Amino acid sequence: MDFSKLKGQIYLDKKFLNCDKAKIHVLNHSLHFASSVFEGIRVYDKKILFLEDHLKRLINSSTIMKLNLNYSLKRLSDLNHLIIKKNRIKDGYIRPLVFRSSHSMSPETENCYTQLAIAAWKWKVLFGNESGIKINLSRYPKLNSKIYPIEAKSSGSYQTSVISKIESQKKNYDDCLMLDLNGNIAETTACNIFWIKDNIVYTSKKHSILDGITRQAILEFCKIKKIKVRIGDYKLKHILKSECVFVTGTAAEIQFVKRIEKNKFKKNSIFNELKSCYQIIKDNPPEKISDIKKLF
């Protein structure tokens, strides 16, 4: 899919433009210095899932990356609703992007101003493989919050993810698992990872991962359904000895992992219950994670 040829409109610098008119210069600062932040937001039946949580993270990411996003939460919310209405999106995806102008070609940003773009398109589930995906190990580690602003969903945080994804696909895998600097399980290239062992759901601490919105929803499901959860630092051998593995993300939703290299896994009742919980929020998308409990 060539996203530069999307039909419909894109919001850019306080205007709605036809897609082919929504352009930035090749000497854009964020293109050269990876200083943009973004969100990926799901639309189900014209309703936007967890919009408030995504926009709060966008604002926080902008603050962390020193971007002056002069939009209120309400204004951002209104623009996201407008973009799906203008593009007639029933089921799809929204991509807000905050970035710097072309007023510097060095790390210095004093003369740059902050720009906002919002696009939306029809999009299916990432992977979308009911039988499960295959992942291998990345040769690159995930950095941690002591040396990198991991809390921001920034373009720079995906550099090793892109390289790792390319290398995995060349080896006939769908994705890869990335460990942190201490050799503990972190996440995949664009998804958080969970595994189930002895009726307990495990996942990584937040110091070397992006705290995904869907990750937060899964933890809320577990609380509602009284499923035991343990969050910690775990070595690779821990996940390889588990019964069931799955990844989560706005684009991927909840995706079963059938293999990590030669190690095979099976779906179980807890995984199926969490999938059912996600279907409930797809059918009636709440604006924020704290509203999930109202649906159960």
Which token pair is 263? 């190690």
| Beta-ladder partners of 131 | none
Give which of 224, 225, 237, 137 is closest to 197, Cα–Cα: 237
Write the pLDDT tens digit of every residue in 45-74.
999 999 999 999 999 999 999 999 999 999
Q: Are 239 and 261 in contact (CB under 8 A)?
A: no
- DSSP letter at 59 equals H
pTM of the model: 0.95
Per-residue tens of pLDDT for the chain, all 296 residues: 889 999 999 999 999 999 999 999 999 999 999 999 999 999 999 999 999 999 999 999 999 999 999 999 999 999 999 999 999 999 999 999 999 999 999 999 999 999 999 999 998 888 978 899 999 999 999 999 899 899 999 999 999 999 999 999 999 999 999 999 999 999 999 999 999 999 999 999 999 999 999 999 999 999 999 999 999 999 999 999 999 999 999 999 999 999 999 999 999 999 999 999 999 999 999 999 999 999 99
pLDDT value, residue 113? 96
CA atoms within 13 Å, Cβ hemisphere of 245: 27
Q: What SS3 state is found at 145?
A: coil
The DSSP H or E segment spanning 166 is helix 159-170
Q: Are 29 and 36 in contact (CB under 8 A)?
A: no
How far is the C-alpha of 187 from the C-alpha of 118, rounded, in Å? 27
Sign of CA dihedral 67, 72, 74, 76: negative
How far is the C-alpha of 99 from the C-alpha of 69, rounded, in Å? 9
Q: CA angle 198-225-277, nearest 5°?
A: 105
Give which of 94, 93, 117 is closest to 31, Cα–Cα: 117
Residue 206 region, left (φ>0) first, then alpha (ψ -120 to 50), else beta?
A: alpha
Q: Are 43 and 92 in contact (CB under 8 A)?
A: yes
How far is the C-alpha of 192 from the C-alpha of 277, rounded, in Å? 17
* DSSP codes, 74-104: HHHHHHHHHHHHHTT-SSEEEEEEEEE-SS-
